[in-house]
Amino acid sequence: MQVSTEKFTELVRREVEKARLRPALKMVPHFLHEKREAVLADHPDAPAAQAYGGAIRSEALARLPELLEEFEKNAISNGAKVFWARNAEEANAYIVKLARERGAKYVIKGKSMVTEEIGLNGALSEQGIEPWEADLGEFIIQQMNRTPFHIVGPAINIAVEEVRDLFLSKAFIKEPTLDPVELGWGARLFLREKFHRAQFGVTGVNMAVAETGTIINLENEGNIRFAKSSPRTQVSVMTLEKVVHTMKDALHLIRLLSRNCTGQKITAYVSMDSGPRKVDEIDGPEELFIVIVDNGRSRIYQDPRAREALRCIRCAACLNICPVYRQIGGYAYGWVYSGPMGQVLMPPLLGLDKTQDLYRASTLCGACKSVCPAGIDHPDLFLYYRSLDVSADASAAQRFNGKERPWKETLFFKLWGMAVKRSWMWNSGISITRPLMNAGSRGGAIRQMKGAFRGWFRKRDFPAMAEETFRERWEKTVGKGTDFKSVP
Amino acid sequence: MASARDEILGKLKAAPKTKIPTRPFLPPAEEVAMGRDALVNRFTEMFAAETGIVYRAKESGQALETLTEIVQREGLKSVMVSTDEVVTALNLPAWGNKIDVKVATPKDFKGRDDFKDAVFDDAEAGITGVDFAVAESGTLGLRHDKDQARLISLAPILHIAIVPVERIVPVYEPVIETVFGKEKPPSQFVFITGPSMTGDIQGQLFKGMHGPRRVIVILVG
C-alpha cells in the first residue's frame, strides 16, 4: 500500500474541502463516542476498568519476549504452525507460498488491520490469487481501491449512492437501491458463495494468549468466523505486540475493546482458536498457520518511551473523540492507521522523517489519552517525537530517522534560546522587532506577515506589540534599577 | 544467519526492561451475587436487547412444542441440527419426521464439502445446544467439537439455541476457567451475542450481514 504520510498538509487541504465528508464526520465519530460513554457508565467502576486495561497492556509489553515464547510453545502444542516474519515482504511471501502450494484460486479474508499494513492483497493478486475482503466495509473499499477511512468502519464515509453505483457495476445487486440493508444483502449473497467454496482463509488476531496458545478475534458480521470455519487452511496474522498473558487478561480486554470500540458490552462474535480442528470435526481448518509479524516493532521496542505506542488494542476511541480527526477524517493521515493511534504508531514505524506533520498535527489537548483503554499517553509521545526530530544526533533519534529541521527554523530557535537567557539581548531584540512586527498591524492586531512566519498568520491573528514593555514602564515610573521591595 | 524468530526475540530480549505495574482493584460485576431467577431474568433482558427472542419451556416436551410452533410459523422445511448432548436428548430427527420437517445432522454427510453444501444452501435454520449462557451480556458460549460443528450456528439465516437454565452463568470468567482450565481447550470456542450485524454503510445498523439475521433461544428448565 502506498504511503503518503509526507503529504499530510496537502491531503488535509483536499479532505476538508470535500463537502460530502461533512455529514459522515458530523455523525459517526460523535455517535460512536456517545455509545461508548453510555456503555462504560454501566461498569461498576469504569475508570478502574480502563486503568486495569492499561496495566494488562503494560505488563504484556514488559514481558513481551517471554510471553511470545510461551504463546509459541502452546500454539505449537495445540497443533498450530508458527511462522515469524521480520517484515511485510517475508510475511507476504510465506502466505502467498502457502496459498500457491494448496492450489488456492482465491483467499477469503476476515477484517484485519495488519494485512492492510503489510499489503497482503497486492502480493496475492500479483501471483494470480484473488483476495476477497469479506467485512462489508473492507469489501467496499477494496472494490474502490481506497485506504480505510476509519480503522473500525473503513467505508463509513462513502456515500450510499457511490456504494449503489459500485454494486451495480459489479453486479452485486440487480436493481438500483439506496437502502443500506438491501446493499448489504447484495454483498451477503455474493460473499456467501465465496465463503461456501473457500479453501483458504486469512484473518488477523485481536489477542494472542500466552498461557493457552489461543488466538482471539472480535467481530460483528461473521466474516471472520466464516474464514475460520469453511476453508481447509487458515492463516492468522498478528503483529508481535498482540500477546497477553492469561485468558483472564484477554477477557478484560474483550470487555474493554467492545465497549470502547462500538459501545457494545461484547461484539456479536468472539471466537477463540486453539489449534486446527480435530480429525473427527467436520468443519474448521485442517491446518492453522499463525504468522507473527515484526515489521519494525522490535525496533520501536528498543526505546522504552516509544514502546508505549505498542499498547494499542485498535479500538478507535481516540479517533472518535479527536478534534482533528473529526475535521479531516482518515484519508489525510496517509496510510492504514489514522487518528491519534496512527499518529503515535506511524512515526516510529515509518520514520520521523516521513511523518513530520503527523506528530505535529495535534493541539496536545489530550482527549485521546482520556479515552484510551490501553493507557497510551498520546500527547507525551507527540512531544517525544518532536524532541527526537530536532536532536538528530541522539541515538534514539537515529533509530527513528529523525530529520534536521530547516536551517531557518534552527537558526531562529538558536537566536531565541540565546535571547531569552540574556536580558540585554532580549530588550534590544524587543526594540528592534517591535516596529517590524507592528508595521502591518491594524486595530491592535497583526493580521498578516511576510516571510517565514506568513503561514502562521494564514488563519490566525496576533495582538500587536505594546508601545512599551512592562520593563520600560517600570523604569519610567519608578526609575531604572529600583528594587521592587522599595516601591510602596 | 540467525532465523527471523531468533533475531526478533533477540532484539526484544536485549531491549531495556520496564517495571510491571500493580493492577487497580476492580469491583465484581453485580451478576456475581445474583440468584438463579435474577440470572435468568438478566440473561433474557440482555439477550433481548440484542434483538434475541427468548422462549421458556418447563421440560423437553414443552421445548419440542415451542420448536414446532416456531418452525411452523416460519414455514421451515429443512433444518440442520448439532449432535451435542442438549439437542440429542430432544431426538429431533424423530420430531422432524412427525411434523414433516427435514432434519439433518453433520453425521449424515460424507465430508466437509457435502456438509457445506447442505448447511449453506439447504438449511433454513440451524439448531444447536449451548455449553454456557452468560447473563452479563446475554451471550451464548459454544464449544466446537465433533458434536458442535461451527457452521450450524453461522451459515443458516436463523439460529435456534436450546439453553438448559442450569447452564446460565453470571459472567464470562467461570466459562473460561472451565473451557481453558485443566483440559486441552477445544479447537474453537465461540461467544455469540445476538445476530450477525453491521453498520458499515453510512453507520446504519442492520442484522444478518453474513450470519444469522435472528437468534432464538428456548430456555429449558
Contact B24 A86 (CB under 8 A): no
- Nearest C-alpha neighbor of A115 from the set A140, A133, A102, A103: A133
Residues A179 and A54 grouped into a single domain: yes
The CATH number of the domain where A155 resides is what?
A: 3.40.50.10420
Residue B133 above 70 pLDDT? yes
Measured distance between the N- and C-terminal CA atoms of chain A, rounded to whole angstroms = 71
Cα(B148)–Cα(A281) distance, integer angstroms? 8
Q: A30-34 long-range contacts, Cβ below 8 Å, gap at least 24?
A: A30/A320, A30/A326, A31/B203, A32/A152, A32/A261, A32/A262, A32/A263, A32/A316, A32/A320, A33/A317, A33/A320, A33/A321, A33/A371, A34/A263
Q: Is the dihedral of CA A225, A227, A229, A235 positive or negative?
A: negative
Question: When comparing pLDDT for A398 and B216, which is higher?
Answer: B216
Domain boundary among A241, A264, A298: A298
* A204 occurs within a structural domain: yes
Q: Report the C-alpha dihedral over residues A116, A316, A366, A460, rounded to 10 degrees.
A: 70
Indicate the pTM of the whole model.
Answer: 0.93
Q: What SS3 state is found at B189?
A: strand
* Total number of domains in chain A: 2
Query: In this structure, are residues A202 and A120 in contact, taking their beta carbons and an 8 Å threshold?
Result: yes
Residue A336, pLDDT score? 92
**Which residues, other chains included, contact A174 with Cβ-Cβ below 8 Å and sequence gap of 6+?**
none
Asked if the C-beta of A267 comes within 8 angstroms of chain B's C-beta atoms, the answer is yes
* A350 occurs within a structural domain: no
* A25 occurs within a structural domain: no
Contact A226 B5 (CB under 8 A): no
Contact A282 B109 (CB under 8 A): yes
Minimal Cβ distance to B30: which of A44, A140, A301:
A44
Q: What is the pLDDT of residues B162-188, one digit of tens each?
A: 999 999 999 999 999 999 998 889 999
H or E stretch covering A4: none
* A369 occurs within a structural domain: no
Contact A298 B12 (CB under 8 A): yes
CATH of domain B31-220: 3.40.50.10420
Residues A294 and A167 grouped into a single domain: yes
Domain boundary among A249, A266, A298: A298
Cβ contacts below 8 Å, chain A against chain B, sum to 252
Cα(B158)–Cα(B153) distance, integer angstroms? 8
Residue A474, pLDDT score? 85
Asked if the C-beta of B110 comes within 8 angstroms of chain A's C-beta atoms, the answer is no
**Which residues, other chains included, contact A266 with Cβ-Cβ below 8 Å and sequence gap of 6+?**
A254, A255, A258, B137, B139, B191, B193
Query: In this structure, are residues A381 and A309 in contact, taking their beta carbons and an 8 Å threshold?
Result: yes
Grid cell in block for residue B215: 437468534
Average pLDDT over residues B41-57: 95
Query: In this structure, are residues A392 and A404 in contact, taking their beta carbons and an 8 Å threshold?
Result: yes
| B-contacting residues in A 95-134 (Cβ below 8 Å) | 134
Average pLDDT over residues B16-44: 94
Cα(B123)–Cα(B32) distance, integer angstroms? 38
Q: Cα–Cα–Cα angle for A86, A87, A92, nearest 5°?
A: 115
From residue A198, how far is each of A113, A324, A444, B106 by CA, in Å?
21, 41, 70, 19
* A19 occurs within a structural domain: no
* A145 occurs within a structural domain: yes
Domain boundary among A244, A264, A298: A298
Amino acid at A3: V
Residues A412 and A271 grouped into a single domain: no
Residues A225 and A79 grouped into a single domain: yes
Measured distance between the N- and C-terminal CA atoms of chain B, rounded to whole angstroms = 64
Q: Looking at beta carbons, which residues of chain A come within 8 Å of B189? A: 271-272, 274
Question: When comparing pLDDT for A18 and B113, which is higher?
Answer: B113
Distance from CA of B161 to the nearest CA of A (A): 15
Q: Can you tell me which residue has the cell 505594546?
A: A466
Reading chain A (488 residues) residue by residue, the pLDDT tens digits are: 688 999 999 999 999 888 777 788 888 889 899 999 999 988 889 999 999 999 999 999 999 999 999 999 999 999 999 999 999 999 999 999 999 999 999 999 999 999 999 999 999 999 999 999 999 999 999 999 998 999 899 999 999 999 999 999 999 999 999 999 999 999 999 999 999 999 999 999 999 999 999 999 999 999 999 999 999 999 999 999 999 999 999 999 999 999 999 999 999 999 999 999 999 999 999 999 999 999 999 999 999 999 999 999 999 999 999 999 999 999 999 999 999 999 999 999 999 999 999 999 999 999 999 999 999 999 999 999 998 888 756 677 788 888 777 888 888 888 999 999 998 999 898 989 888 888 878 888 988 888 878 888 888 888 999 888 888 888 888 887 777 777 66
Range of A254's domain?
45-298
| A-contacting residues in B 170-199 (Cβ below 8 Å) | 172-173, 176, 180, 184-199
* A328 occurs within a structural domain: no
Q: Looking at beta carbons, which residues of chain B come within 8 Å of A221? A: 196-198, 200, 209-211
Residues A293 and A441 grouped into a single domain: no
Per domain, the residue ranges of chain B are 31-220
